[in-house]
Structure 1
Amino acid sequence: MRGYVYQLVLLALVVFVIYEAASNAIENLRAQKIASGFGFWHNAAGFDVNQKLIPFSASGSTYGQAFWVGLLNTLLVASIGIVLATFLGFFIGVARLSSNWILAKLAMIYVEVVRNLPLLLQLFFWYNAVLKPLPEARNSIALPGNIFLNNRGLIAPSPIFGPGFSMVTLALFIGIIAAIGFYIWSKRQQEATGKQYPNGLIALALILVLPLIVFVIIGMPLTFDLPQQGRFNLTGGFQIFPEFVALLVGLTTYTAAFIAEVVRAGILAVSRGQTEAAHALGLRPGPTLKLVVIPQAMRVIIPPLTSNYLNLTKNSSLAVVIGYPDLVQVFMGTVLNQTGQAVEMVSITMAVYLTISLVTSFFMNIYNKRMALVER
């Protein structure tokens, strides 16, 4: 009974604190004559965003559309950063254990330098020290393929899809489904017979060759809008803004340093006898690492790897310091300054980051269970 009494008292204290905080917030908003609620969602925004994945303009868009613009920009940089950081982190983590002394030391220096410098400082370095000193638009650096580089970003040819390109997209989707199906079938065949198949090459052929054949058959419905360099500016093409590049490179290199240590720890957790047994069976170092060591190390790598994915997504909110229009910069910055709806803005933003983190953890936990040891 005493335990129940303690829990009821604790619950009452929590409810009291929440009630007092809500009452205080409502009273302050009323004193400042700030209306509460979400009526601002459909009001005209009155500002523009330079990078947007959906249509948005200062005259015809609302605060609700500004929220989706910021959210999509956050998801874009986070998803690309997770993929790039994973590949880079795995490479550096394996390189730290390489028998090549120079490669191992370079990997160690990278990890010790990058992970011990504040991410905010690294973002400033990539943005102000690397990208801002690039030449102006009229003196752009010309790269092969009608690509230009300047302090406004990277300007490249913009694809223009013809009316039949949807068939190519459908063929790509079918190729991906076929590649996944073949991978599952080949794994079952390998478990049953021991025979291995070149899964990577066959999957690549299904994903690339099938859409390419459809692309050629229907008459190549794809053209490009090439950028043209004038006296003072560039016209045409599409632009990758320096704020996006600085944020992506900073997040990728910073998170990869932590992933590298996770990978190194996972590999070292695998018994040395596993490697010796694989060598005794005639496997070379490459196949031993790929087929024997890494699959066992993944059971140790996945849980902390999930935390690094979550940290990368949350660290993307530092985009506000270099002007990248992510959710925090657009919604918690511009929209909040114009509407004054602080409680609603903070609540929505916190709910978004919490949802992204929970969804990421959910899928990583499913993958972790699939990789876990099956015991009686």
Structure 2
Amino acid sequence: MAETILVVNGGSSSIKFELFEIDHGDALKRVLRGQIEGIGTHPRLIVKDANGAVAIDQTWSIDEVGELHDALDKLVIFLLDFVGELPIAIGHRVVHGGPDFVEPTVVTPELVKRLEHFIPLAPLHQPNNLEPIRFVMTRHPHLLQVACFDTAFHRGHPEVADRYAIPENLYVEGVRRYGFHGLSYEYIAQRLRDVAPDIADGRVVIAHLGNGASMCALSAGKSIDSSMGFTALDGLPMGTRPGQLDPGIVLYLLSEKGMGGKEIEHLLYHDCGLKGLSGISNDVRDLLTSTDPKAKLALDYLAYHIATVAGMFTAALGGIDALVFTAGIGENAPAVRQAVANRLSWFGLELCENANAKNEIRISREGSRVSCFVIPTDEELMIARHTLRILQRQAGGVIEEKQA
């Protein structure tokens, strides 16, 4: 088998991974996609091949896979048994890169220490992103590891979009608007050059709608603003996170409700958003099939805020040429897209009902002043591309990578 790159996305109770083959030195071919889920409860490895067929479906006891490091051991065993060898490099998704990391970076012990400082800013993600990195550094120190940051794509924001109206010393310390889902937005910006080359260098608003959700304003393929800010709590309502929130509410919870920092953190990350509004579920699929009025309220609230952020970003861009939906909800929920479009008809967005229902790539009507697209994201491929480029640099020459 050709040399491979492994992409890892560590979560609190799961590890998602994909394996890419390096073909003729400069092209990437996805060969495996899988995850170890239910770590500590019902551990299970599911792996699919490049055609989507299940290659492995294996379960273990909690005693065998009770912690993340146990699951990583199992992943190494799987790769050695099924592929025959370990990859030559591993690319990791790291949610928060802080103010200094503006591009993918080779992992070192010093880098890990610096990234640990951002754990309070991304408590759901950062610790679990770093755990696989530490594991590989300890068990397989010879392997090249590359950290790819969700914040990096947004680091070129103009200062007016980057700052809060707070004293300078806090900004210098790093209290600023970072933006997240950057790997997804970077992929969509590149994909637009194939899907809609006439739009790619224009004014584009992207809605990354999943359990975590945000939006990004693109000008000529560059991020100029993002709905998420200092942490991944800001902006749009999400599955369990509130999105935009008056900071006075946090003060109220502290002073009037007697809640501590950890209690408030748990509330904001786990009990708010669509789950909190509906009292039913954080899953849009459940809300779409429910007859409960609170489910409708949650969906209306989501569409309302997507539309208002789109309007805000249209002002920031000085106009809009296209709206792009991506990620789980964005790619698979025609009703949500239609509800957003209904609120944006004022700027000339009209959807083709049939194309929208079929999740086609272009879903706007012929003649719509604003184009609308559904483009599946691929953060893992983006990470693999970045890892490959660093491999090539270290090999002494950068080869222009073909599109995968």
Say yes or no: TM over 0.5.
no
TM-score normalised by length of structure 1: 0.22
Greater relative CO (CA pairs within 8 A, separation 6+): 1
Normalized against structure 2, the TM-score is what? 0.21
